[in-house]
Amino acid sequence: MSAARALLFQPQKAELLDATLRDGSYAVDFQLAENFVIELLGRLNETPIGKVEVGHGLGFEAERSGFKACNIDLKHWCRIAQSELTATSWGMFAQPEFSRLSTLAELCDQGMSFVRIGMEPERVPDHLDYIERATAICGPRKPPSATFSATR
């Protein structure tokens, strides 16, 4: 790119999200050693990472669709995250097929400050209501809190 070429947008401050626990839970069949979780979250809290994603690899309430439940239940995830992530925001992954908005509200009431919603791009129109409602549920608690991730 030529130095003379104008930027199409002005870059914003970068925001880092760590998904080590959520994404890494696949490797251990969603069964995480609690001591490892506590230590990792404590260490992440000391970094410039602004958001940490915790919970079941497929999203909260994945067991409602027949997937193996995480050995750490949602209330315990909230307690651990609240305790260890004192300088860092934490949230969870959600899928509209099984992650209920009522549960999302409960999680946000427990200190969760963002939700990352995932689905295939062609399914977004079918789930706009869910996305809008999730944003409203998390929105009033802290500044922009719902992010969207289209995956293939």
β-bridge mates for residue 1, sequence order: none
With contact defined as beta carbons under 8 Å apart, do 69 and 56 qualify?
Answer: yes
Q: What is the mean pLDDT of residues 27-44?
A: 97
- Per-residue pLDDT tens digits for 10-34: 777 778 999 999 999 999 999 999 9
pTM: 0.82
Pick the more confident residue, 139 or 103: 103
* Reported confidence tier of residue 52, pLDDT bands at 50, 70, 90: very high
Q: pLDDT over 90 for what percent of the chain?
A: 80
What pLDDT sits at residue 69? 97
- Per-residue pLDDT tens digits for 115-144: 999 999 999 999 999 999 999 998 754 443
Q: 7 CB contacts (<8 Å, ≥6 apart)?
A: none
Q: How many other C-beta atoms are found inside a 10 Å radius of the C-beta of residue 34?
A: 11
With contact defined as beta carbons under 8 Å apart, do 53 and 92 qualify?
Answer: yes
Report which of 84, 148, 71, 151 is spatially closest to residue 111, judged by C-alpha positions.
84
Phi, psi of 46 (to 5 degrees): -95, 5
Kindly list the distances between the CA atom of residue 53 and the CA atoms of 1, 92, 136, in Å, as whole numbers in the listed order.
35, 5, 19
